[in-house]
Amino acid sequence: MRMTVIGTGYLGATHAACMAELGHEVLGVDVDKSKIEQLAAGKVPFYEPGLPEVLERNLASGRLDFTTDYQRVADFANVHFLGVGTPQQHGSYAADVTYVNAVIDSLVPLLEGDHIIFGKSTVPVGTAQELQKRADALCKEGTTVEIAWNPEFLREGYAVKDTIEPDRIVLGVREGSRADEVAREVYKQSIDSGTPFLVMDLPTAELVKVSANAFLATKISFINAVSEVCEIAGGDVTMLADAIGFDERIGRKFLGAGLGFGGGCLPKDIRAFMARAGELGADQALTFLREVDAINMRRRDRVVELSREILGGVLGRRITVLGAAFKPNSDDVRDSPALAVAGQLSLAGAAVSVYDPEAMGNAAKVFPTLDYAESVDAALEGAELVILATEWQEFRNLDPVHVGELVADKRIIDGRNVLDVAAWQGAGWEMWALGRSL
Ligand SMILES: NC(=O)c1ccc[n+]([C@@H]2O[C@H](COP(=O)([O-])OP(=O)(O)OC[C@H]3O[C@@H](n4cnc5c(N)ncnc54)[C@H](O)[C@@H]3O)[C@@H](O)[C@H]2O)c1
């Protein structure tokens, strides 16, 4: 099939390359010229394991191309995927849908014939219906444009696998839609191999995505709230999580207590969900998400506070923060807990050295005043306190004996509860962790 992908950020670039990998002919479009130039040259503008290979292979096959020209998009196909950003609005919890609207305004007046736009961006419930009205008003005589919603569940770090073998495909359609049939063709391989394909109305599809993220955020904040109690009561949140995780109804995933969640999705999505519920008059329904957000933010403060307690104040002290990305296997630093901690410590007067295997460039753009070391060893040199803030495998594998030779003082906060306590303590380290007393 021929299709276009509008917006080639994390979601769109991955979707475009993976759809070509599945055998489709794909044209990706973005307003960011430099991003398009990079993608067209076979370079992924962000870190995503496996994606460079898929991109190169499909550019070479001729099934994948990129452009900034909306006229080419309009002429190329009758099926379009919309994956532009929906960030948090400045000064509000609500999602900013101006980019989504702008796509309709740029594309629809150029279309001829019958088209379907599958929205993949995470949007407030009701957006698809609004976009349909917008599209209907802009459409040429004799042209039809249907808006359907096909929310995306990919995880950064596993984006290729999640796009090629999703755990479910959700499609929201209006009555009398033909999008269902078209989506079945697009995702034929996944559906044939048994991936659940769930067709529903538009509001439900929009709500599925934000509900999934709200649930995940709640699960993380639940264990982090329990972790706060463990710290005071002398409990061990890791053992507790293992024990409750054996209950199939609960499950161990997403019960890793620590510095909490961040990134370009969970924080803004729970806020936008609250804001939208408020607009709809259901504000009480989601007030608990405010608490979920607050628990999450408190974990960052706790690590800063713990650093102060350990060092007797951080002014002028040398602290190494391991990690800048919001999670491992990503270079995404949007709302990163690691970077928030590094930044707060630096603003409090500490000499903070940061190292991340992939996110240094992005981190330096957001927080240029931190000291970015060239290697993990260089970052650790002379540290009076080490904070493990993002659980990259490289940090989990660190040898406590070797690291002990680099630092000034063998003190570490395991902000993700991933280190082998016995090994580190055995090598003479003083350790602290969130939710357990070491
Ligand atoms: N990143 C993820 O893991 C993920 C997962 C699921 C859902 N989502 C959702 O997908 C959407 C996109 O997220 P992302 O992380 O890819 O964002 P991103 O910021 O990486 O990418 C958005 C892209 O859209 C482009 N864009 C903006 N306006 C445009 C326009 N008018 N025409 C063409 N391109 C335009 C931007 O230049 C940018 O390249 C968001 O709604 C997000 O919540 C993201």
Q: Which residues 6+ apart lie within 8 Å of 345 measured at CB?
A: 304, 307, 314, 319, 321, 352
Q: Within this chain, do residues 9 and 109 fall inside the same structural domain, yes or no?
A: yes
CA 195 – ligand 1 centroid, Å: 25
Q: Within this chain, do residues 168 and 280 fall inside the same structural domain, yes or no?
A: no
Tell me what the mean pLDDT of segment 245-268 comes to: 97
Q: Within this chain, do residues 135 and 24 fall inside the same structural domain, yes or no?
A: yes
Band of the pLDDT at 171, cuts 50, 70, 90? very high
Residue 433 has pLDDT above 90, yes or no: yes
Which pLDDT value is given to residue 405? 98
CA distances from 185 to 112, 133, 189, 215 (A): 22, 26, 8, 31
The residues lining ligand 1, judged by C-beta closer than 6 Å to any ligand atom, are 6-12, 29-32, 35, 83-86, 99, 102-103, 106, 121-122, 152, 154, 156, 264-265
User: Is 224 part of a structural domain of the chain?
Assistant: no
Q: At what angle do helices 127-138 and 202-233 cross, to 10 degrees?
A: 150
Check if the beta carbon of residue 385 is closer than 8 Å to that of residue 409: yes
Q: Within this chain, do residues 47 and 163 fall inside the same structural domain, yes or no?
A: yes
Tell me what the mean pLDDT of segment 139-152 comes to: 98
Q: Mark which of 163, 195, 227 sits at the end of a domain.
A: 195
Per DSSP, the residues of 62-82 read: TSEEEES-HHHHHHH-SEEEE
User: Is 391 part of a structural domain of the chain?
Assistant: yes
CA 326 – ligand 1 centroid, Å: 17
**Hey, what are 267's tokens?**
């924080």
CA distance 342 to 264: 18
User: Is 344 part of a structural domain of the chain?
Assistant: yes
Q: Within this chain, do residues 45 and 151 fall inside the same structural domain, yes or no?
A: yes
At 206, give phi and psi (nearest 5°).
Answer: -65, -40
Q: Tell me the average pLDDT of the chain.
A: 97
Q: Within this chain, do residues 183 and 252 fall inside the same structural domain, yes or no?
A: no
Q: Within this chain, do residues 369 and 423 fall inside the same structural domain, yes or no?
A: yes
User: Is 215 part of a structural domain of the chain?
Assistant: no
CA distance 199 to 150: 9
Q: Within this chain, do residues 183 and 279 fall inside the same structural domain, yes or no?
A: no
Percent of the chain with pLDDT over 70: 100
Per DSSP, the residues of 89-137 read: PTTSSSB--HHHHHHHHHHGGG--SEEEEEE-S---TTHHHHHHHHHHH
CA 100 – ligand 1 centroid, Å: 9
Half-sphere exposure of 59 (CA within 13 A, CB side): 20
User: Is 404 part of a structural domain of the chain?
Assistant: yes
Q: What is the total count of domains within the chain?
A: 2
CA distance 280 to 291: 20
Check if the beta carbon of residue 262 is closer than 8 Å to that of residue 326: yes
Per DSSP, the residues of 210-236 read: HHHHHHHHHHHHHHHHHHHHHHHHT--
Residue 301 has pLDDT above 90, yes or no: yes
Task: Please give the number of the atom of ligand 1 that sits closest to the Cα of 123.
Answer: 41
Task: Please give the number of the atom of ligand 1 that sits closest to the Cα of 29.
Answer: 33
Residue 283 has pLDDT above 90, yes or no: no
Q: Which domain holds residue 412?
A: 238-433
Q: Mark which of 195, 225, 259 sits at the end of a domain.
A: 195
What is the per-residue pLDDT across 92-144, written as a single tens digit (0 to 9) for each?
A: 999 999 999 999 999 999 999 999 999 999 999 999 999 999 999 999 999 99
Q: What pTM value is reported for the model?
A: 0.96
Residue among 4, 5, 6, 11 whose CB has most ligand 1 atoms within 8 A, to mutate = 11
Q: Mark which of 195, 212, 230 sits at the end of a domain.
A: 195
One of 18, 139, 230, 265 is an active-site residue; which one?
265
CA 86 – ligand 1 centroid, Å: 7
Known active-site residue 18: no
- What is residue 286's DSSP assignment? G
CA distance 268 to 264: 7
Task: Please give the number of the atom of ligand 1 that sits closest to the Cα of 32.
Answer: 37
Q: Within this chain, do residues 160 and 281 fall inside the same structural domain, yes or no?
A: no
Band of the pLDDT at 170, cuts 50, 70, 90? very high
User: Is 106 part of a structural domain of the chain?
Assistant: yes
Tell me what the mean pLDDT of segment 328-342 comes to: 97
Q: Within this chain, do residues 319 and 415 fall inside the same structural domain, yes or no?
A: yes
Check if the beta carbon of residue 289 is closer than 8 Å to that of residue 214: yes
The separation between CA 247 and the C-alpha centre of its own chain, rounded to angstroms, equals 28
Residue nearest to atom 28 of ligand 1 (CA): 99
Per DSSP, the residues of 151-199 read: -----TTSHHHHHHS-S-EEEEE-TT-SHHHHHHHHTHHHHHTT--EEE
Residue nearest to atom 33 of ligand 1 (CA): 30
Residue nearest to atom 25 of ligand 1 (CA): 7
Distance in Å from the first CA to the final CA of the chain: 57
Q: Write the CATH number for 148.
A: 3.40.50.720
Task: Please give the number of the atom of ligand 1 that sits closest to the Cα of 10.
Answer: 16
Tell me what the mean pLDDT of segment 154-180 comes to: 97
Task: Please give the number of the atom of ligand 1 that sits closest to the Cα of 6.
Answer: 33
Q: Within this chain, do residues 316 and 424 fall inside the same structural domain, yes or no?
A: yes
CA distance 415 to 295: 15
What is the per-residue pLDDT across 71-103, written as a single tens digit (0 to 9) for each?
A: 999 999 999 999 999 999 999 999 999 999 999
CA distance 323 to 234: 28
Residue nearest to atom 7 of ligand 1 (CA): 152
User: Is 155 part of a structural domain of the chain?
Assistant: yes
**Hey, what are 376's tokens?**
């993990």
Check if the beta carbon of residue 28 is closer than 8 Å to that of residue 104: no
Q: Within this chain, do residues 190 and 267 fall inside the same structural domain, yes or no?
A: no
Residue among 84, 125, 213 whose CB has most ligand 1 atoms within 8 A, to mutate = 84
What is the per-residue pLDDT across 14-40, written as a single tens digit (0 to 9) for each?
A: 999 999 999 999 999 999 999 999 999
What is the per-residue pLDDT across 51-63, written as a single tens digit (0 to 9) for each?
A: 999 999 999 999 9
User: Is 228 part of a structural domain of the chain?
Assistant: no
